[in-house]
Amino acid sequence: MSRSQSPVDHQFAFQSLPRSMSTLETWTFGVTNHLSWITLVPTVHADLGTAAIFVWVPAVIVGMLINYQVKHLGRNFLNVAGGTPNYITRLWPGYPIIARYAAIGYLISWLSVVPLNSVVLTNMIHGNLDVLDIPCPDTILKLGFTLLPFVVAFSGSRALSILHLLFSLPALLLLLLFCLQGLGFLAFSPHSPSFFPQHWTSLNFIAWAKWFFFISYTTYSCETVSSFVADSRHPKQTLNFLDIAAWLMLPIFIGGSWVIIRLCTIEGLEDNPYLNFAVASVSFWGDFGPITVTFLLTSCCLLGSATAISNSPRIIYQLAVDKHLASVFSLVSSRGVFGSSLVLSLCISMIYFLWGDISQIVIVGNVAWFVAFMLMHLGLWKKRNQPDILWPKLSLVFFIIEAVILLVTAYAWGWQDFLAGLLAPFFVLLIDALVRYLPIPVFRSHWWIKLYKSHQRTSIKDPLAIQVGILMFLLCGAVLVGCLFVWLLNVAPITTVKNLVVILLITVAFVGVAIACWTSLPQVVALAEAREAAEHLFTVAQDGILVVDEQGIIRQANPATEDFFGCNPSQLLGHHLQKFLPELTAYPEQWNKRGEHTLCDYQKIRTLEVSISDRPHQDFQEYVVIVHDITQRKQAEEILLNSEAQLRQEAQQLAAQLVQSEKMSSLGQLVAGVAHEINNPVSFIYGNLTPANLYIQDLIKLIQLYQQHYPQPNAEIQNEIETIDLNFIMADLPKLLNSMNVGAQRITEIVVSLRNFSRLDEAEMKAVNIHEGIDSTLMILQSRLKATSHRPEIEVIKEYANLPLAECYAGQLNQVFMNILANGIDAIDELVINHKTVNNPKIEIYTDITSNQEVIICIKDNGSGMNENVQKHLFEPFFTTKPVGKGTGLGLSISYKIITEKHGGNLKCLSEPGLGTEFAIIIPLKQKNYHLNNH
């Protein structure tokens, strides 16, 4: 069956972002542009002088309003990554070209930050080395600083966000201290040149518009924290930082700019950030000023690049999820690596790097950025009737003013660069078109999925030896670098040397983390993931799990124990298990490994099966106790022992509850298997009774003809007739066949009863994550998906939509997934048995939600397929195309009843011989009976 025939169209194989980032980590990404103000303010001051403040004030006001508006938009899009540009796309739902243009314009502006920061860092190092007459490898440094954040981002750990946190907080505090202490110095110090100047420089509209366009990149982009809402463990708290980021603009952008304007009055400083801030800080920080400024500038550049490499892939990812870019960009690994999106980001950054003209890069990057915010303001006015839109009329005013500023900018900065900036987003769209069209494996989702899976399976057999080797390498490298610096510098610790040391330390921190990300940190992450997985299993287990020490004292208890003992798990800690299970002895070493215990619970007696295993440690012994409720199973056993009649009457009511509570237990499998094995011979006997009866009637007619035409047989025949009583046989044989027919029908009824006994019963309905159920089922079937000697590994392609929680019977729905997936695997294996090659065996799983609030789950295989006749009987009980002993014929019948009767949905099958089979499961998102019962 072709993909176009699937009931779920245009789905992408993407995975939801793991919410792994803490609130503080996301907050620090929101101050990146506050720090980048350092590299911008000297340029504005050098051209406008004191009049620069009249550009900063209105730009800051608009920037603060943008922050508040983005916060209100973000409350409706807590699962949307990328922040502002992807909010803009939702303001233009009927205009996909405008939506894509705005988002990509925002994106390419951020990616220009990386090569620009590498140039600033290289120039700082170059200037300091020139003082010492040491040559500087400019190209190597620029390339290294450009690639460094990508190296960390490709590692897949949270190291980049943690490293960002460690440097951004002290940098922000130092910057605030600079601004506030500088304002205090201007206002109160006797050495102050006075707070206000005696003369103001003139400012015309063209100059104002030109520089407003230039600094809007900083004031408008203080909403960066919105890019990380979908990654945040607490998305609403992350959005709350937009208020803080807005008010931080006042002391930094306006207060700090005023400090630079009033204290940097020495001629020759021009637009050099280091010289301007060093001169200003020396006034109140003295000798510590230059070193502090070096730290600020270095941190600003590296943190700006880290933020650009963090939020840009998220923008691309969300655009792909929203179908604005190719589906390959919607992939993210389980550790949060945006592999394909990072590659695209790297390509764009390297284009900027190879271009090399800083002034042109700034103009080109800012044009599309500025247009993106113009479209945002116009989109806000267009959606003015929505409750989450603030100040729609003011947004229209902003759009008109920005349009005028854009035209003035084109005149002031040059039409050539202006047009290049306007057309730049279409270049990215051209790259996207090539990715969609060219049949290259790296442009396809399955290539990246296979890559992510291979990384998950990769394990290091001796990580300790590797960690020791890495430690030796880092220590020796540090010593060698220190020696080289001493040999090269060989001078007193002057300011230049101190500056180089600061730059070196911060850079080494980033490089060290980059090395660790590709060596030791993945092992640490793997251990953390294993621990989280173990804790998750401990938490979600339906059986009670307790950990007791060698004295029998409870040290740990999972949430399920509350159902057994009627108290919070924390209240169990510190008590002896014998208090709750009196039949146990005092010491765990005397406990039986498995036993049954009786528990009286509110005048109801429950039977528990208790399994105990010891777990030795180096210093102590502990025991893991698993408590399983077998009350219903014991009741069923008593019913079976009492009488067969009572079993037939009550088993139909109790069997469903028994099998549901004992999912996949040996009892259910045994009953289903026996029913299937009985069904085959009974069907054979029952099917042959009718022709056998016809044959016997023919033989009787033949004998009667002989008796009619030869009434006097010879003596020997007459004696044999009397011996066998031929007349009795002829009369009784039809009755005998009729009795056999009645018996076969009775056995069939018993088989049906056994089949009903083995099916699942109702369980608690609740809202669950459908994707987790699918993934859990795939994990159970992992061994069957692996390669065999007859076929390669079966590839599972998951294309999940962004589904909300669905109300369903989770256990029964998982049983449906198990049956359909197992049948798909069997269908692929059947091709192998029939001596047909399977070059690329695969199972595709798509999910979607319809406009009618129905969840669709499609499971498709490329196995042997089925003809129309088989499909007609597919959901009938005991119908199977598998050999005897390979299938019960109950799986799809039970699945159909679970979907249609229990969930009010539908289960469809589309298949053609040789082209595979696709099952479509359709269930309502909200169950009516569930809400009626709750009300």
- C-alpha distances out from residue 72 to 76, 242, 349, 396, 896, Å: 8, 10, 32, 18, 44
SS3 556: strand
Summarize the confidence of residues 9-36 as an average pLDDT: 73
Residue whose token pair is 């798990």? 569
Q: How far apart are CA 533 and CA 546, in angstroms?
A: 18
SS3 66: helix
pLDDT in the model for residue 167: 75
Write the pLDDT tens digit of every residue in 90-127: 999 889 999 999 999 999 888 888 888 888 777 777 76
Summarize the confidence of residues 339-362 as an average pLDDT: 85
Beta bridge partners of 556: 547
pLDDT in the model for residue 685: 77
Query: Is residue 747 scored above 50 in pLDDT?
Result: yes
Q: How far apart are CA 303 and CA 510, in angstroms?
A: 10
pLDDT in the model for residue 762: 42
Measuring CA to CA, which residue among 27, 344, 322 is closest to residue 172? 27
Query: Is residue 291 scored above 50 in pLDDT?
Result: yes
The angle at the Cα of 316, spanning 311 to 320, to the nearest 5 degrees, equals 145
pLDDT in the model for residue 300: 82
Q: How far apart are CA 665 and CA 275, in angstroms?
A: 76
> Burial code of 293-327, b = ≥16 C-beta within 10 A, e = fewer?
bbbbbbbbbbbbbbbbbbbbbbbbbbbbbbebbbb
> Which of the two residues, 888 and 22, has the higher pLDDT score?
22
- The alpha carbon of residue 297 and the mean position of all alpha carbons in its chain are separated, in whole angstroms, by 35
Q: 159: which 2 tokens?
A: 């190291």
pLDDT in the model for residue 9: 36
Q: Which of 280-284, 405-409, 929-933 has the lowest mean pLDDT?
A: 929-933
Q: Is 815 left (phi over 0), alpha (psi -120 to 50) or beta?
A: alpha
Summarize the confidence of residues 411-423 as an average pLDDT: 82
> Which of the two residues, 629 and 4, has the higher pLDDT score?
629
Instruction: Give the confidence band of 591 by pLDDT, cuts at 50, 70, 90.
Output: confident
Residue 335 near residue 125 (C-beta atoms within 8 A): no
Q: Is 414 left (phi over 0), alpha (psi -120 to 50) or beta?
A: left
Q: How far apart are CA 14 and CA 449, in angstroms?
A: 9
Q: Which of 258-272, 631-645, 723-737 has the lowest mean pLDDT?
A: 631-645
Q: How far apart are CA 310 and CA 154, in angstroms?
A: 10
Greatest mean pLDDT range, 371-380, 522-531, 787-796: 371-380
Summarize the confidence of residues 354-367 as an average pLDDT: 80
Measuring CA to CA, which residue among 245, 259, 228 is closest to residue 81? 228
Query: Is residue 239 scored above 90 in pLDDT?
Result: yes
Q: Which of 153-167, 357-371, 452-466, 894-908 has the lowest mean pLDDT?
A: 452-466
Instruction: Give the confidence band of 459 by pLDDT, cuts at 50, 70, 90.
Output: very low
Share above pLDDT 90 across residues of the chain, in percent, rounded to a whole number: 16
Quickly list DSSP for 218-280: HHTTTTGGGGGTTTBSSHHHHHHHHHHHHHHHIIIIIIIHHHHHHH---TT-TT-HHHHHHHH
For the chain, the 3-state helix, strand and coil shares in percent, each to the nearest 5, are 65, 10, 25
SS3 604: strand
Summarize the confidence of residues 153-163 as an average pLDDT: 68
Residue type, 377: H
Query: Is residue 177 scored above 80 in pLDDT?
Result: yes
Summarize the confidence of residues 861-882 as an average pLDDT: 80
Q: How far apart are CA 758 and CA 933, in angstroms?
A: 27
Greatest Cα pair distance, the chain, in angstroms, is 152
Instruction: Give the confidence band of 759 by pLDDT, cuts at 50, 70, 90.
Output: very low
Residue whose token pair is 């009755």? 735
Residue 497 near residue 125 (C-beta atoms within 8 A): no
Query: Is residue 141 scored above 90 in pLDDT?
Result: no
Share above pLDDT 70 across residues of the chain, in percent, rounded to a whole number: 77
pLDDT in the model for residue 485: 55
Strand 765-768, strand 795-799: pairing: unpaired
Query: Is residue 825 scored above 90 in pLDDT?
Result: no
Q: For the chain, give the mean pLDDT.
A: 78
Q: How far apart are CA 500 and CA 127, in angstroms?
A: 10
Residue 388 near residue 90 (C-beta atoms within 8 A): no
Q: Which of 109-113, 385-389, 447-451 has the lowest mean pLDDT?
A: 447-451
Q: How far apart are CA 102 and CA 730, in angstroms?
A: 93
Greatest mean pLDDT range, 169-173, 225-229, 297-301: 225-229
Instruction: Give the confidence band of 664 by pLDDT, cuts at 50, 70, 90.
Output: very low
Query: Is residue 24 scored above 50 in pLDDT?
Result: yes
Instruction: Give the confidence band of 537 by pLDDT, cuts at 50, 70, 90.
Output: low
pLDDT in the model for residue 399: 93
pLDDT in the model for residue 395: 92
Q: Which of 86-90, 256-260, 824-828 has the lowest mean pLDDT?
A: 824-828
> Residue 21: phi, psi to the nearest 5?
-90, 135
